[in-house]
Structure 1
């Protein structure tokens, strides 16, 4: 069953805080939920489905449904695919709505990595049980003992891409430059200063070939979106953003038989575009997960915006900057400059795509006549296993 046109994103809210020493994670979830519902013109009483991922505290959905006083929930989903979870959730919400399981789905993200929550980039260590058998992930004894971290597994993917295709650090730097050009107009962005290619390649090396400015920011905060049925959407006094297609896919290491030069977007992207009935050439704006600059470059290739190995040329010379390049991306500054709460930036990709389609992005970065957008997320690590999710969204005339 296709979900094309059977669900709408009618509410979106990004928490303004980037440092929350005085709030709990549950409180941030609830404040994001309130903001998204108010944006849609709905209330907590209207919610009949709730979606969250591993960032939700306690028993996840069970805890948050009770905490927020949601009394009418008849469908819930706690799918966990890291930073891509929230794009998966939008697709799952659309499926549930199309199947008649619910009409108003609330999806929330929140975290406090700057104030005691899980920080991105921590070393990966195997779990252990008292019996001597590992209770950690099944791959732990084969991989984690070598000290893999977020930084060096992405660095490994970047180095392989450079080796295979001649990609350069200067080309990767253009992705950060584009993000910074957009972030300067975002009052809430964690990093607002415009940077140059030279600034990026001269910044401190973190994991060769990735420099400090190739890496995302670490912030507290969160966000939420509201997905509704067409009937509910038509009754709301808000611009209607229609879901045209959704795709999801896992990518693993298959016991070591892995090609580091592509991501799960090679599967999730075509599925979403096929369902939507559009092509990458039709897209006016792209929200692309940007935990590192290499993440963006590989996903642009895998989604079909350029051929494999040509991502470096595609992103160079400001091609991702709104008003200058042919594919404006992450016009809020993205995870590289604006916000990357609890290492799960997929939610912010949906929110900025909704802003663009509504015409509500900052005037300095608003894409003219933006009627079709892609939002894509990656959760996990390009260098090992990860989940990919792609959404195609349309402004309904």
Structure 2
């Protein structure tokens, strides 16, 4: 089995975990993923880490390796906002395909909910804004996504009811996951009556702030015989980058996710219609609708009505974010995107329990960072 495979995954609970630190979440996730693969820590010869708001360090991967007693042949920290986890996977796949490493450990985690003052995570994200043309005017990340939502509603007739359907579907999925941050009932009426955040986005249109961690091991294909679990093949990878700051975006309705998905589908030799389950970054309800349409799963303006009709849930056209996504499973920085990959792997291995999509053979994962700025798409397959 040539190429790269995901050999082990692990995710912690998401939510309020006051007993944990950033590094303890890293350690739990890493140990769980290595054990899931049937490996030992000393089998790991490559380590990739993301970033942390609560324990920031220029060399977080080195800090983590020191913490775990690892001395890998390759170590690096990667920072690309919400696209980080997927881009880490792309780097790891390149490392094992080139023969530089045999088993690469990818680790993410942060305790943003209990390890920062209330509102601290949102305040830290204000640094995403352009220092000259955005920050002085007080723009926030929700406000920038609200701008996208307003334009998308204007051009394609997306309704507030469609946005609410995305949030309600995510919560219904999270209610099936024992590790999810929010498992309480959410109705369309509750979304519509929740407090405004950045028009037209309301509280339940916005992702959670959570503590949590997730990790995975990417192995060389020829190592499959050594593994404990059925490996999941990395079939296609693609990135797309059109801007960093929203003031410089060439469009408010078309983003680099289109190119990223096209490249991943092209490498895998499949089309959107072939995908059985999708795990797509959902920092806001509008994020998911924009990306579903840009990447070819639905025509422009059709994803909202599809969500209202149940297309994104079990038995629908495209079961999406079956763990609850960032909107309801939880969002703890780079681990938020890694949760999507873990869920895709568990779906393809048939280990998703009550969330299982029957006979899932192909999964699509997408991460985006910034204000729909950095994009990375992945096609995974059951071997």
User: Does 1:187 find its partner at 2:186?
Assistant: no
- 1:257–1:389: structure 2 CA closer, same or farther, 3 Å change rule? closer
Give 5+ residue unaligned stretches, structure 2: none
- 1:205–1:246: structure 2 CA closer, same or farther, 3 Å change rule? same
Aligned to 1:327: 318
Q: Work out the CA distance in 2 between the residues paired with 1:290 and 1:357.
A: 21
* Partner secondary structure for residue 11 of structure 1: strand
1:187-266 to structure 2, matched below 5 A, reads 187-252=178-243, 253=245, 256=248, 258-266=250-258
User: Does 1:301 find its partner at 2:301?
Assistant: no
Task: Say whether the 8 Å CA contact 2:51–2:334 is kept in structure 1.
Answer: no
Aligned match for 1:381, one of 350, 366, 371: 371
1:1-397 to structure 2, matched below 5 A, reads 6-55=3-52, 57-58=56-57, 59-71=59-71, 73-117=72-116, 119-122=120-123, 139-252=130-243, 253=245, 256=248, 258-323=250-315, 325-342=316-333, 344-362=335-353, 364-382=354-372, 386-396=373-383
Q: Work out the CA distance in 2 between the residues paired with 1:51 and 1:27.
A: 16
- 1:180–1:372: structure 2 CA closer, same or farther, 3 Å change rule? same
Q: Work out the CA distance in 2 between the residues paired with 1:36 and 1:262.
A: 36
* Partner secondary structure for residue 69 of structure 2: coil
**Structure 1 residue 251: deviation in Å?**
2.6
TM-score w.r.t. the length of structure 2 is 0.94
Task: Say whether the 8 Å CA contact 2:14–2:330 is kept in structure 1.
Answer: no
**Structure 1 residue 310: deviation in Å?**
2.4
- 1:274–1:303: structure 2 CA closer, same or farther, 3 Å change rule? same
Task: Say whether the 8 Å CA contact 1:123–1:148 is kept in structure 2.
Answer: no
Q: Work out the CA distance in 1 between the residues paired with 2:214 and 2:161.
A: 32
**Structure 1 residue 234: deviation in Å?**
2.3
Task: Say whether the 8 Å CA contact 1:50–1:77 is kept in structure 2.
Answer: yes
Task: Say whether the 8 Å CA contact 1:32–1:224 is kept in structure 2.
Answer: yes
Instruction: Return structure 1 stretches of 4+ with deviation > 6 angstroms.
Output: none
Q: How many equivalent residue pairs? A: 377
Task: Say whether the 8 Å CA contact 2:2–2:222 is kept in structure 1.
Answer: no
**Structure 1 residue 74: deviation in Å?**
1.2
* Partner secondary structure for residue 345 of structure 1: helix
* Partner secondary structure for residue 178 of structure 2: coil
Richer in helix (by share): 2
* Partner secondary structure for residue 121 of structure 1: helix
TM-score w.r.t. the length of structure 1 is 0.90
**Structure 1 residue 204: deviation in Å?**
1.4
- 1:251–1:333: structure 2 CA closer, same or farther, 3 Å change rule? same
- Any idea what the Cα deviations from partners look like across 1:179-234, whole Å, max 9, x if unmatched? 11111111221211232222212221111001111111111011000000012222
Give 5+ residue unaligned stretches, structure 1: 127-136
Q: Work out the CA distance in 2 between the residues paired with 1:340 and 1:156.
A: 22
**Structure 1 residue 17: deviation in Å?**
4.7
* Partner secondary structure for residue 189 of structure 2: helix
Tell me how large the CA RMSD over aligned residues is: 1.9
Task: Say whether the 8 Å CA contact 2:182–2:328 is kept in structure 1.
Answer: yes
